[in-house]
Amino acid sequence: MIISKADFTALLGAKHATPHSVLGMHPLKFRRSKGVVARSFIRSAVACDVVDLDAPPPVSFPMKRLAPEGLFEVFIPRRPDVFRYQLRAVYPSGEIRQFFDPYCFLPTLGAQDLYLFNEGNEHRIYEKLGSHVRELGGVGGVSFSVWAPSAARVSVVGNFNHWDGRYHPMRSLGASGVWELFVPGLGEGELYKFEIRDQRGHVRLKTDPYGTYFEGPPNNAAIVFDTRNFKWTDDAWLERRRQQAGKLDRPMSVYEVHLGSWRRIPEDADRPLSYREFAVQVADHAVEMGFTHVEVMPLAEYPFDGSWGYQVTGFFAPTHRFGTPADFAWFVDHLHSRGIGVFLDWVPAHSPRDSFALAEFDGTHLYEHADPRQGAHMDWGTLIFNYGRNEVRCFLNANALAWFDRYHLDGLRVDAVASMLYLDYSRQEGQWIPNKHGGRENLEAIAFIRGVNDLVHRYHPGVAMIAEESTSFAGVSKATKDGGLGFDYKWNMGWMNDTLAYFTKEPVVRRHHHSNLTFGMLYQYAENFVTVFSHDEVVHGKASMLFKMGAWHIAEKAANLRALYAHMWLWPGKKLLFMGSEFGQAREWAHDTSLDWHLCQYLDHEGVRLLVRDLNRLYTSEPVLGENDFNPQGFRWLTCHDADANLIAYVRSDAAEETLFAAVCHFGGVTREYRVGVPRRGFWREIINTNSEFYGGRGLGNTGGRNTEDVERDGFSQSILVTLPPLSTIVFKWSEQP
């Protein structure tokens, strides 16, 4: 036995930190003879030969079995240099396999890759770390690499070695903290994990942080998958998107969906739709309804259905629940072919504590802060990323870019931004650590957010970065060069909360809450706002949008909801509506059951759907509405003080006021004849009336429109006398003549 006792024991005990120094082929002077020594460690093999592929016919060199576990060794004299070879192993059944030795290949990562990764500037590190189908020297296989700087030993394990960490220990690439191994002969479909032995001798089994595909719980193994093979057909879409870079004020009406509960198939065990099934059906629905984008709640792999995808364990992998990564790519490609953009919820704010995932990955707090005052999320029981660590920042930056590179997404809606911005978020005194200036802002997270937004815009001009940010942090949607965070849009949580607080009240008491309708205009143009009614508003006992409405009867609730939606679509800001809300779903949303599509047979629900469809068509077809959401010259109050009438009215226009729309919103419970001042003489055509019989209302209205009269009102020299049904919004468009 040439191998040292220490190396022998370390290999058999799965404790060897430098396996490439022992396994494989190495020059050696042995007993005064120069040659090479070859060693292999092959599970269950009873015999093994080294096959010289360079010999004119190939020559075999039998190896000596040093241990029944499958450790073999041979010294080949008079061969001063290593040569190209394969191993030929014999198994107890008599089966013979010949293959290339994993320990004869050079590293698949170069010094520059590792330097940039440790510096935090390898923007596409997902092309290097993780698993990748590739060829090395004409030999096909899979390269595996993982960052685990504090590990004592790392092995890749899978079906190919019976999940035994002794047989494919990985090579440490020095101070980079990266471990690497190329395994020839493997391909797509292999299941694998990383077995990590920490410095205390504890062994943990971890899934690949950069894995592109995963099996489901409880095993959660990564699956080798080559994302480069999908054939895209959306070049024209991507070019149009690129040409729109910088034009943020364009029509954007977003349909937010949870893929697992949008529609299920009851005759097939109530299963959810696959990515491909969903693509066709949701595209049909979005096109018919006039939505410009579909926003999908998180689809990065997650173990627990009840988290809705917001507790991610596979940041680079579309969840297995609905198909393969290629199926997800097909979903995006199909929606693009139908003219629909795709946004995805992205969750860089935290990760769960599941033992197989990122938590204490190499036995240390690698991805998360060690101090719970910085690293533990108080609300969700999850862990907060250490945004100041270069490699963690590199991981998250690359993750954002990977969704655009691999899946052609049109935007990321970034979840829980407020929890990233503030060190004291949801914490009591003494539960948080101030920043270096003594403040509460998380300076490292802020720097990360600015950096990732700039990177996304640099590499993918025309895509959108959208913040769910619930505080008044300044400059969320301002460019980083102007001191902002660099997002394109911000969800308008203030408008949503105030407006719903108003509409949950019964009409008789709404006059005491009139400021809830008007306060939002004080800050409306401080950010590029998206006006939202999202999934968060229809769960956890908050009631559905329909049942929030302050009324006793379904018909009155539906009237309230129609009036609210028309106000929302005429109010400045891009639009977002959660699935089911477009037809007035009655019950709260449940993640594990289908929406109640059968309700659309009833006019109280179908009328809401028809109105949303018509509002989208109006919004997307009229530049005054879809291209002036961020133009403060495009909004003017007509009246905002009549709390007793439960009424507001305003005008939307272009800067020159050549095209004008007036929204008269009457949220009281009685019919009124009401005079409204308007800025132009002429005919104001009634184009939307939420009380129309077509939408399920009573049909009260203004017989097609109203001519102005020279009666002063609200500071205008002319006005129109309008009939206002109860719980209604009426939209007028100005023209010089009827």
Catalytic positions, please?
Answer: 415, 468
Hey, how many other C-beta atoms are within 10 angstroms of the C-beta on 53? 12
720 neighbors 706 (Cβ within 8 angstroms): yes
679 neighbors 657 (Cβ within 8 angstroms): yes
257 bridge partner residues: 296
333 phi-psi bin (left φ>0, alpha ψ -120 to 50, beta other): alpha
State how far the Cα of 23 lies from the Cα of 246, in Å rounded to an integer: 55
384 neighbors 370 (Cβ within 8 angstroms): no
193 neighbors 154 (Cβ within 8 angstroms): no
Instruction: Tell me the two tokens of residue 349.
Output: 């704010």
Hey, how many other C-beta atoms are within 10 angstroms of the C-beta on 29? 11
CA angle at 304 for the pair 300 and 308, rounded to the nearest 5°:
60
Instruction: Give how far Cα 466 sits from Cα of 377, 413, 530, 683, Å.
Output: 22, 4, 9, 39
Q: What share of the chain is helix, strand, coil (3-state, %, to 5)?
A: 30, 25, 45
Instruction: Tell me the two tokens of residue 161.
Output: 């070695």
DSSP letters of 66-103? EETTTEEEEEEET--S---EEEEEE-TTS-EEEE--GG
Tell me which DSSP letter residue 251 carries: -
DSSP letters of 556-598? HHHHHHHHHHHHHHHSSSEEEEETTGGGT-SSPP-TTS---GG
